[in-house]
Amino acid sequence: MLLVIGLKHSEFKEIIPSPLIGQKAPAFELPTLNDHRMVNSSSLRGKPYLLNIWASWCPGCRVEHELIMSIADQDIIPVYGLSYKDAEHDANRWLERFGNPYTEVLVDEAGKVGIDYGVYGAPETFVIDSKGVIRHKHVGPLDVKTWKKELLPLIMTLDQPQS
């Protein structure tokens, strides 16, 4: 058992555990794509949501896109996109071409909010509950199996928006 723990810590790990799980999602104020309205992270509270870190330069984002689209289509949970270190027109072109699943796209061109969220690549997907607490982080392209086995069951336990 100890050997296993030891190996896990000594090897370079592709998945770095996020210390932010169970913590309040770091606050931000970011402009939206295109209309550049400033959105404060506190205004996202009150309902659970996904925060999907993506970029047009990111091949993994293309891989998970179909799933992200279907999650948004089925109205399971709102998906906010964080356009991470991307140029606005590239982001737009990508969304026009592959579809826009996002309730809102927030632009983090410098990647500063990314650092605050411990992002070290794209895509990454955070599950944030209605109180603004990070409940789960998925690193890399989200796949149907992980979605069904990990994220969806968690989302089902989160309190639903008060109507």
Partner 1 sequence: MLSMPAIAIDVLDFQSPQEAERFRALAAEIRCLVCQNQSLADSSAPLAQDLRAEVLEQMRAGRTDQEIRDYLVARYSDFILYRPTMSVTNLLLWFAPLLMVISGLWLLIRKLRQATPSENSTVSGHDMPDSED
Site string for partner 1, 12-41 (x = CB under 8 A): xx--xxxxx-----x---------------
Q: Is 9 in the site for partner 1 (CB under 8 A)?
A: yes
CA pair distance 55, 52, nearest whole angstrom: 10
CB of 115 to partner 1, least distance (A): 5
CB of 8 or CB of 93, closer to partner 1: 8
Rounded to whole angstroms, how far apart are CA atoms 25 and 30? 14
Interface pick for partner 1 out of 45, 47, 62, 85 (rule CB under 8 A): 85
Residues 50, 104: Cα–Cα separation, whole Å: 11
Q: How far apart are CA 111 and CA 118, in angstroms?
A: 10
140 binds partner 1 (CB under 8 A): no
Residue 7 makes contact with partner 1 by CB under 8 A = no
Our CB check for partner 1 shows the closer of 59 and 120 to be 120
Please give the residues from 109 up to 138 whose contact with partner 1 meets the rule CB under 8 A. 110-112, 114-118, 120-121
Q: Residues with Cβ < 8 Å from 117, sequence gap 6 or more?
A: 20, 25, 26, 51, 53, 82, 124, 126
Tokens of 30: 């970011």
State the number of CA atoms in the 13 A half-sphere of 38 facing the CB. 4
Which residues make up the interface to partner 1 (CB under 8 A)?
2, 5-6, 9, 12-13, 16-20, 26, 85, 110-112, 114-118, 120-121
